[in-house]
């Protein structure tokens, strides 16, 4: 089997159709499991008491908001360099989910900030750079929608994605580089996590759930895009005939 087979939209359409249920069910199961830990098993926090539980949504959403952007930038770069059709479709399919996760991260952050810090919003480096990420997502989606020529739109959107990618390390390291109101990372590659084990477990399970959800909806979206773009081709016509 050759992996490049699936770079062809026609083959990927079928593969994605088979994989979506697995990822969707996985996402559902992991969400239920993670939320059960978050609400019933994880202990109360010593300084924030119950309010800290918003971390179980906030952190996975914030991670995904940055990670999806990097994946979009990756597909954009591949598309620009190798002119592969499916890469641009993947980038377009991921953007709405990334924007939603960014919004969730900002929204839950505001809900967390008011009771803990005493403010819904402050203009510190972490919050501001995350807000710029939301504007980037919305701007890229708007740019794609504004250009009727699909090929030109793909290139312009991916170029903007690549330029904006510089914002992701700024978000991630903002709490290290500058004085911010936002606290530093509890979980990172360079040190042991500064969280109780059960809390960490719940958060990681919900992060996996967010991954599975993202893969499932991105695949569903990319299938629509494939059908729309290849509607003149023989295989789509044959498929539609078979289904009708």
Partner 1 sequence: MKSRHKKLLVIVLALAGIGIAATLILNAFQSNLVFFFSPTQVANGEAPGDRAFRIGGLVERGSIKRDPDGLTVRFVVTDTAKSMNVVYKGILPDLFKEGKGVVAEGKLGSDGVFTSTQVLAKHDENYMPPEAAHALEQAQKAQKSLVK
189 binds partner 1 (CB under 8 A): no
Q: How far is the CB of 93 from partner 1 (least distance, A)?
A: 21
Q: Which is nearer to partner 1, 6 or 124 (CB)?
A: 124
Token match 């980038």: residue? 91
Q: Which is nearer to partner 1, 116 or 138 (CB)?
A: 116
Q: Which is nearer to partner 1, 11 or 186 (CB)?
A: 186
Q: How far is the CB of 193 from partner 1 (least distance, A)?
A: 9
Question: Which residue pairs, CB below 8 angstroms and at least 24 apart, start in 31-40?
Answer: 31/206, 31/209, 31/213, 33/205, 33/209, 34/202, 34/203, 34/205, 34/206, 34/208, 34/209, 35/206, 37/198, 37/201, 37/202, 37/205, 38/202, 38/203, 38/206
Q: How far is the CB of 143 from partner 1 (least distance, A)?
A: 17
The CB-side HSE value for 146 (13 A sphere, CA atoms) comes to 9
170 binds partner 1 (CB under 8 A): yes
199 binds partner 1 (CB under 8 A): yes
Q: Which is nearer to partner 1, 77 or 220 (CB)?
A: 77
| Residue 59: closest CA among 183, 216, 167 | 183
Q: How far is the CB of 55 from partner 1 (least distance, A)?
A: 7
Cα dist from 80 to 38, 75, 86, 139, 197, whole Å? 42, 8, 11, 19, 43
Those residues with Cβ within 8 angstroms of residue 149's Cβ, 6 or more apart along the chain or in another chain: none
Return the residue of 40, 43, 189, 242 that touches partner 1, per CB under 8 A: 43
Alpha-carbon distance of 117 to 52, in angstroms, equals 12
Coil, strand, or helix at residue 49?
strand
Alpha-carbon distance of 195 to 120, in angstroms, equals 24
Could you tell me which stretch among 64-72, 123-131, 132-140, 217-225 binds partner 1 (CB under 8 A)? 123-131
116 binds partner 1 (CB under 8 A): yes
Instruction: Decide: residue 205, CB within 10 A, 0-12 exposed, 13-18 middle, 19+ buried.
Output: buried
143 binds partner 1 (CB under 8 A): no
124 binds partner 1 (CB under 8 A): yes
194 binds partner 1 (CB under 8 A): yes
Q: Which is nearer to partner 1, 165 or 208 (CB)?
A: 165
Return the residue of 27, 38, 55, 171 that touches partner 1, per CB under 8 A: 55
The size of the interface with partner 1 (CB under 8 A), counted in residues, is 40
- Where does this chain bind partner 1 (CB under 8 A)? 43-48, 52, 55, 77, 80-83, 115-119, 122-125, 162-163, 165-166, 170, 177-181, 183-186, 194-196, 199
């Amino acid at each position: 089997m050759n992996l490049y087979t699936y770079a062809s939209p026609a083959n990927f359409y079928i593969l994605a159709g088979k994989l979506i249920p697995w990822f969707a069910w996985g996402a559902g199961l992991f969400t239920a499991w993670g939320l059960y830990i978050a609400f019933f098993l994880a202990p109360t926090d010593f300084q924030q008491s119950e309010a800290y539980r918003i971390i179980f949504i906030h952190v996975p959403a914030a991670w995904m908001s940055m990670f999806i952007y990097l994946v979009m930038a990756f597909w954009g770069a591949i598309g620009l360099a190798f002119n592969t059709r499916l890469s641009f479709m993947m980038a377009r399919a991921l953007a709405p989910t990334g924007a939603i996760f960014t919004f969730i991260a900002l929204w839950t952050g505001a809900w967390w900030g008011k009771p803990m810090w005493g403010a819904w919003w402050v203009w510190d480096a972490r919050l501001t750079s995350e807000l710029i990420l939301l504007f980037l997502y919305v701007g890229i989606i708007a740019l794609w929608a504004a250009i009727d020529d699909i090929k030109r739109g793909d290139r312009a959107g991916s170029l903007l994605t690549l330029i904006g990618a510089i914002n992701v390390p700024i978000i991630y390291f903002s709490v290290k580089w500058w004085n911010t109101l936002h606290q530093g990372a509890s979980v990172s590659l360079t040190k042991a996590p500064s969280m109780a084990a059960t809390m960490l477990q719940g958060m990681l399970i919900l992060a996996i759930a967010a991954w599975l959800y993202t893969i499932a909806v991105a695949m569903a979206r990319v299938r629509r895009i494939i059908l729309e773009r290849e509607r003149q081709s023989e295989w789509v016509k044959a498929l539609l005939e078979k289904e009708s």
